[in-house]
């Protein structure tokens, strides 16, 4: 299955799931909670306020070596938007890709997504864990803090 078939398929519209394609073109679904959506909005709004020379996207589809993955939040610079527009899925990852971990996600799955986004061109990947911890990664590995200079304070509830 191709990504265009997924987004055009009426059976997949309005589902409370995050949909991705694996490397074999099979649909994978991850249930999302309302808290998950709240964190996406909070982080996306923070990126929009702090990083003025670009824009934040939620549910950003990215073609990877293992199929189409959907970053919960991405930040794209103005030059990135000028070059890639809003192609779906992106053939090159935006500069910053962020995953908000759902209860159904494993640590192994999240670390695999880090590598896939970096291989697809992301400069930095964040993993936001349920306990409020955020792990930051770049091509050299785990970082002590984001190079984007943003201090993320997640909402308590």
Q: Per-residue pLDDT for the chain (157 aa), expressed as one digit of tens each?
A: 666 666 566 666 565 556 666 776 766 666 667 787 889 999 999 999 999 899 999 999 999 999 999 999 999 999 999 999 999 999 999 999 999 998 778 899 999 999 999 999 999 999 998 788 999 999 999 999 999 999 888 876 6
| Closest residue by Cα to residue 77 from 127, 42, 124, 138 | 124
Question: What residues are paired with 18 via a beta bridge?
Answer: 30
DSSP class of residue 102 equals P
Q: Please state, in angstroms and rounded to a whole number, the distance separating the CA atoms of residues 125 and 142.
A: 9
d(CA 157, CA 151): 18
Q: Which CATH class is domain 32-143?
A: alpha beta
pLDDT value, residue 13? 59
Where are the domains positioned within the chain?
A: 32-143
* Rounded alpha-carbon distances, angstroms, from residue 97 to 26, 66, 93, 128, 135: 22, 16, 8, 11, 12
Q: Which of 77, 111, 75, 82 is nearest to 96 (CA)?
A: 75
Q: With a threshold of 0.75, does the pTM exceed it?
A: yes
Rounded Cα–Cα distance for residues 57 and 46 (Å) = 12
Q: What is the 3-state secondary structure (H, E, C) of 16-60?
A: CEEEEECCCCCEEEEECCHHHHHHHHHHHHHHHHHCCCEEEEEEE
Q: What angle do CA 113, 116, 118 make, to 5 degrees?
A: 110
């Amino acid at each position: 299955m191709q990504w265009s078939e997924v987004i055009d398929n009426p059976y997949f519209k309005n589902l409370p799931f995050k949909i991705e394609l694996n490397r074999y073109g099979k649909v994978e679904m991850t249930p999302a909670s309302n808290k998950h959506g709240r964190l996406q909005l909070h982080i996306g709004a923070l990126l929009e306020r702090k990083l003025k020379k670009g824009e934040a996207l939620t549910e950003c589809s990215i073609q990877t070596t293992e199929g189409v993955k959907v970053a919960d939040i991405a930040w794209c610079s103005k030059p990135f938007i000028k070059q890639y527009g809003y192609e779906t899925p992106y053939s090159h990852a935006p500069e910053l890709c962020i995953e908000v971990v759902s209860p159904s996600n494993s640590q192994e799955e999240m670390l695999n997504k880090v590598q896939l986004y970096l291989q697809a061109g992301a400069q930095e990947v964040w993993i936001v864990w349920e306990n409020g911890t955020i792990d930051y990664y770049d091509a050299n590995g785990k970082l002590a803090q984001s190079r984007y200079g943003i201090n993320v304070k997640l909402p308590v509830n």
